[in-house]
Structure 1
Amino acid sequence: MKAKVGDTIVVEGTHVGDHRRIGLITAVPHEDGSPPYTVRWEDDQHEGILYPGPDTHIKTAG
């Protein structure tokens, strides 16, 4: 998985009742765009470090 600052990251719910989380990637420490990513989540504005799993995909910025 590769991303850049400004991309949107989407984590799909994997269990019944789980909701989808959407966040904005605010930092990518590796030049090649590989994880981990710093993400600001839309639902609560919390910012944290994410190592994406198989239920995650990237929507590239414009």
Structure 2
Amino acid sequence: MHAVKGDRLVIHSKQVGQADRHGEITEVRGPDGAPPYFVHFDDGHETLLYPGSDCELEHEAAGGTG
């Protein structure tokens, strides 16, 4: 997994009825876009994260959606 600042990370829930977690990568600490990533989640929580198999990376669209 390779990311850049501004990419979105989705952690898919492992339990039925529990929502997925969404966050923005605010810092890439590994070499060449590799983990770990510092993530600011939509609920305000921040953490240093090594993504697992339950994670999906959404790359930031170049130029925005305007």
Query: Which residue of the partner structure matches residue 58 of structure 2?
Result: 59
Cα deviations by residue, 1:22-49 (Å, 9 ceiling, x for unpaired): 000000012311111000000x211111
Give RMSD over aligned pairs: 1.0
TM-score scaled by structure 2? 0.84
Structure 1 residue runs of 4+, over 4 Å off? none
Choose between structure 1 and 2: higher helix proportion: 2
* 2:41 aligned with 1:41: yes
Pair member with larger Rg: 2
- Measured in 2, the distance between the counterparts of 1:15 and 1:32 equals 33
SS of the residue corresponding to residue 40 of structure 1 reads strand
**How many residues end up aligned between the 2 structures?**
61
Gap runs ≥5 in structure 2: 62-66
Q: Percentage identity across aligned positions?
A: 43
- Measured in 1, the distance between the counterparts of 2:38 and 2:28 equals 7
- Written as runs of structure 1 = structure 2, the 5 A alignment for 1:1-62 is 1-42=1-42, 44-62=43-61
Gap runs ≥5 in structure 1: none
